[in-house]
A and B are shown apart, each in its own frame.
Chain A
Amino acid sequence: MNIHAIRAIYKFEMARTFRTIAQSIISPVLSTSLYFVVFGSAIGSRMTDIDGISYGAFLVPGLIMLSILTESISNASFGIYFPRFIGTIYEVLSAPVSPLEIVISYVGAAASKSLMIGSIILVTASLFVPLQIMHPFMMLLFMVLTCITFSMFGFIIGIWADSFEKLQIIPLLIITPLTFLGGSFYSIRMLPEAWQTVTLFNPVVYLVSGFRWSFYEIADVNVGVSLGMTGLFLLICTVILYWIFKTGYRLKK
């Protein structure tokens, strides 16, 4: 394995993150903190508890998930699209680097950044709302798996996109609605029964539910199913990436 290459790309990508710290880290943390202030402290105090959990605390797992989903996709898609756009991708393609090493380095960097943002938001949230984490290991597992899976998904989007518009289109038109409607702000059991069934087709529901379970032991779907669905999505992304590198789709002519 070309460890030096993985290290070099990872370090290079992370350096970009720290060079643009206001945009990369401070901005997502600030906007999520505003949710806590508005929905957690201001409006949340007038909302009834959900399954015995205050609304502010109930929001935390969903908001962290919302953040790491969007950040993972955005970081990873930009991370690979930008070299394609400016042409520097030639170097990675002509280097003694395997597809696996390319994915590990780019996806690893994007996932690390999302994990960092998720962790900062978690700490920030604890300043505004009372938090408890019943299953810290499971919480970490869900967080890491989501960061990796959605960074892989973002990497796929970054390879598929051939314009900046396309780079944004899936996160804005698909992922954001799925996240908002995936139980980030409410329990899906609060919906009419028919909509509960429809919502179960939304993969984000399983991520948010499982993640929330690791905090409060309350879940919309069984935690095993949540974990299974996360694993399934990871598998689907892996298969798509395998196909991309096997065929050279959008990378090689």
Chain B
Amino acid sequence: MSPIIEIKGLNKVYDNGFQALKDINLEIREGEIIALLGPNGAGKTTLISIICGIVNASSGTITIDGHDIVRDYRAARSLIGLVPQELATDAFESVNATISLSRGIFGKKPDQTHIDKVMKDLSLLDKKHSKIITLSGGMKRRVMIGKALSHEPRILFLDEPTAGVDVELRKDMWNVVRELRKSGVTIILTTHYIDEAEEMADRIGVINKGQIMLVEEKTVLMQKLGEKRLLLLLLEPLASLPPELSQWNLRLQDNGSTLVYTYDAQSESSDITHLLDAIDNAGIRYRDLETKQNSLEEIFVNLVKK
């Protein structure tokens, strides 16, 4: 199946000489949720802005469902909904007016039934006639999402959608995103929150200093890069590791009361058994054990540190 978004050799150099994006190549599949992770200034927003037509690329091509974003911008843009990072709203307009405006701008004829449904899904219906300036930050964020959904896009860009919103609203938004995905909408999400990517995404792309460091299925990524640790809580602390255990990747922590074995998640099956036998043979007794897997956050921090 051909990708719904195809980015080839994309570069962006701003007028001041700063290169925001370097040779980006990326394919986004229809119906997936892809999370773009990266520190501040990594180029996430620039990438989204170029795809959506807000920023001009310096070189490279982007097609959306086969439509070039420059030559065939009407067809390309009509498929897209964008929720930008900034809370940019028409402060003095009503929720209904601003969402209806978005639908019109994207070339769709007025449809109050659909606008009402969007507002209902986002729990905005009771604020339909409220001026946006009177809404809380979280509600304004919902309005932004409502505007992006007003014209029934097939692709939705969410640029840090849950930045600065409370936990409850974040969960609500995740539910909205899941529902959208069920209806076949492709979602491109940039986020600072690793747990958001971990929770939502099918694939994860890591961007740093304008380059894509990797793009991988979330589960594969976590398996492939995820270190696992086996923690043995000892009955009696050890001053040092016995020499017969030196072949294992072991270390002591908590003043010798915990023995930590770090291993590759993919080769866990046989090693653990042999290790536990070796520990038993060394006469070390333990009262409990637990395993820990690297979170996506640790993977991410390791990647951008390089």
**Which A residues lie at the B interface, using CB under 8 A?**
2, 4-5, 7-9, 11-12, 15-16, 19, 86-88, 90-98, 248, 252-253
Contacts and interface: CB of A to CB of B under 8 A. Distances in A.
A226 B31 CA distance: 60
Contacts of A96: 73-78, 106-107
A8 B105 contact: yes
Nearest to A2: B107
A253 B14 contact: yes
B245 interface: no
A224 B288 CA distance: 99
Chain A CB count within 10 A is highest, among B52, B56, B88, B104, for B104
Interface string B223-247: 0000000000000000000000000
Given A96-B106, A96-B107, 4 more contacts: A91-B82, A95-B107, A96-B77, A96-B78
28 contacts: A2-B107, A4-B103, A4-B107, A5-B104, A5-B105, A9-B104, A12-B101, A86-B90, A87-B84, A87-B86, A87-B88, A90-B54, A90-B84, A91-B82, A91-B105, A93-B54, A94-B52, A94-B54, A94-B77, A95-B77, A95-B105, A95-B107, A96-B73, A96-B74, A96-B77, A97-B107, A98-B74, A253-B14
Interface residues of B, number: 37
B53 A92 contact: no
B109 interface: yes
A140 to B, nearest CB: 29
B74 to A, nearest CB: 4
B108 interface: yes
Contacts of A15: 97
Interface in B184-231: none
B69 to A, nearest CB: 10
B105 A97 contact: yes
A19 B105 CA distance: 21
B102 A252 contact: no
B91 interface: yes
Interface string B69-97: 00001111110101010101111110001
Contacts of A98: 74
Nearest to B72: A96
Contacts of B154: none
Contact of B55 (A7, A97, A252): A252
Nearest to A95: B105
